[in-house]
Amino acid sequence: MEKRWNILTADENKVSSLCQSLKVARPLCEIFVQRGFDKYDSVKSFFRPQLSELHNPWLMKDMDKAVERILTAMAQHEKILIFGDYDVDGTTAVACMYKFLQKSYDRVGYYIPHRYKEGYGISKLGIDYAKNEGYTLIIALDCGIKSVDLIRYASEIGIDFIVCDHHLPDETLPPAVAILNPKQPDCSYPYKELCGCGVGFKLMTALAQKLNLPSNAVFEFLDLLATAIAADIVPMTGENRIMAYYGLQKVNENPNPGIKALFQLSGYAKQIHINNLVFIIAPRVNAAGRMDDATKAVQLFTATTEEEALHFAEELHSDNTERKDTEKTITEEALAMIKEDDDWATRKSTLVYQPHWHKGVVGIVASRLIEEHYRPTIVLTKSGNLAAGSARSVVGFNLYEAIHACKECLIGYGGHFAAAGMTLAINQVQALKEKFETVVAASILPDQLVPVINIDTAISFNQIKQPFFDILSQMEPFGPENLRPVFITKKVKDNGWSKIVKENHIKFALTDGSSTLHGIGFNMAEKFPLLKDQNLIDIVYTIEENEWNDKKSLQLKVIDFRPAE
């Protein structure tokens, strides 16, 4: 699939000024300026994040009400239920809050709704469970901001709610005793991009102050919080960067037994980076909710011994293996269906439906289809007597608005700019397919149908030295709004040793005439002929450290390449 290359720019005056004060390579200063760090002090703060820079939790609207209600519950010996979503953010948040409260109070339980029996967010089953078990206070984490009717129902039967959420609130808020959400228009909390576990962390921080607990009573959960930040794809800026930075330190030095067990089963035994949390831990935790019951994820993170943690880790590992097999099968079936569609090549959208597909992986399958056919995509399956599924978008296209424009075909829907979910009558699937195509074709721009690679700056091979890489490494943890830097080098060529490996990948050996570097390009074998006869090419890549036989060397991770301009 051809990709669009977009080379970013930076203010030349700011770059020159920063080069003079930092005394580092110009390409690095270009990257810093692009990311908003154009002064010495701002760069220093970025590279040396401090826990002391975390904001005062009491700045968050309703924090005083939330803390007061929890302290009252403790004083009156009420039962407190921790309620959270079934994904990584929700289960880590529940595990953190449960373990934190347990240290000071023993009448605490937790509840994770079943993805298929109860659906997303607050559930009536969960509230009824709380009533039957004698709980009078529910702390909702990573959900609740839109559950107006259900929280009203809870209030009517004598159960109070504290909502800790980070999703955008509607105009009508639920009747909770306290709502902690920095995205509320009238909340003055300085940082708006916390994940659900992050909001819970701020509540724990405020409670710790009132309970006169030491700071490590909260900081011991930074490894779980870093996992939530990584998995929930929130901006890696501000407080998120600080908490992820120190959370990664804890992951490497003294991890939660559950995190340790998952890495042990994965076979990964090197230094852990944020991408390891994203690609090793998060899929296994999410698989619990996708394939079975996410309660076992909380049991994993609250395990007190390595043996107990390993037991639950094995269950999650098994769920993830099943998830991968199911996802692979459905993706192959969906791709075959697309190719059988007579007009698939001219369509600007994709919609596929099979009643036997597993509901838990249709969102992942939609993302896989976009990797092959870069279009807004809906994947549907049968759920009870209805069709239900997930949609994923391409960069820059507002998927939620497109789904909203198809509302006459739908029973229910929800989501945001890049992803959405929906239910509809089975006899409306074909109507939705045609309506969605009409809406997308009328509003999507041609460029939005071509994947884009944002490139930070151009460098030459002779600039790629260990000190340069060491500075890049200090920009970790990487994530949205602080992505791993992407470079372009023009007019390089194969030195005669590049080759195809494992049928699909290219092992590069490239020279610019004065320096030679090695690299790997995954799933690029079909482009190997571009290297023929040592033709000049332009390459786009990131820089990584390769370790082989206890020796480390720098190599390129090639993202794309094409004939030199």
The domain segmentation of the chain, as residue ranges, is: 4-11+453-563, 57-317, 341-449
What DSSP element (H or E) covers 252? helix 238-253
pLDDT of 144: 95
pLDDT of 565: 86
Q: Residue 241: is its pLDDT beyond 90? A: yes
Radius of gyration of the chain (CA): 25
Model confidence over 133-146: pLDDT tens digits?
A: 999 999 999 999 99
CA distance 182 to 166: 7
pLDDT of 24: 93
Contact in structure between 474 and 37 (CB atoms under 8 Å): no
- Selection from 1, 13, 69 nearest residue 39 by Cα: 13
pLDDT of 117: 86
Q: Residue 430: is its pLDDT beyond 90? A: yes
Q: Residue 550: is its pLDDT beyond 90? A: no
Mean pLDDT in the chain? Answer: 95
- Selection from 37, 39, 44 nearest residue 20 by Cα: 39
Q: How confident is the model at residue 367 (pLDDT cuts 50, 70, 90)?
A: very high
Q: Residue 168: is its pLDDT beyond 90? A: no
Backbone φ/ψ region at 445: left (φ over 0), alpha (ψ -120 to 50), beta: beta
pLDDT of 552: 87
Q: How confident is the model at residue 342 (pLDDT cuts 50, 70, 90)?
A: confident
Contacts of 489 (CB under 8 A, 6+ apart): 458, 459, 460, 461, 512, 538, 539, 541
- Over range 84-89, report the average pLDDT: 94
Model confidence over 94-128: pLDDT tens digits?
A: 999 999 999 999 999 999 999 888 887 899 999 99
CA distance 12 to 28: 13
Greater pLDDT, 548 or 425: 425
- Over range 51-74, report the average pLDDT: 98
pLDDT of 501: 95
pLDDT of 549: 79
pLDDT of 558: 98
pLDDT of 427: 97
- Tokens (6 digits) for 43: 């760069």
- Selection from 532, 488, 451 nearest residue 27 by Cα: 488
CA angle 430/432/434 to nearest 5° reads: 70
Model confidence over 31-47: pLDDT tens digits?
A: 999 999 999 999 999 99
Model confidence over 176-222: pLDDT tens digits?
A: 999 999 999 999 999 999 999 999 999 999 999 999 999 889 999 99
pLDDT of 215: 85
- Over range 154-178, report the average pLDDT: 96
Q: Residue 292: is its pLDDT beyond 90? A: no
What DSSP element (H or E) covers 365? helix 362-372
Q: Residue 262: is its pLDDT beyond 90? A: yes
Fold of 57-317: inorganic pyrophosphatase (n-terminal core) (3.90.1640)
Q: Residue 492: is its pLDDT beyond 90? A: yes
Fold of 4-11+453-563: OB fold (Dihydrolipoamide Acetyltransferase, E2P) (2.40.50)
Fold of 341-449: Diaminopimelate Epimerase; Chain A, domain 1 (3.10.310)
Assign 531 to helix, strand or coil: helix
Q: Is the peptide bond before 283 cis (omega within 30 degrees of 0)?
A: no
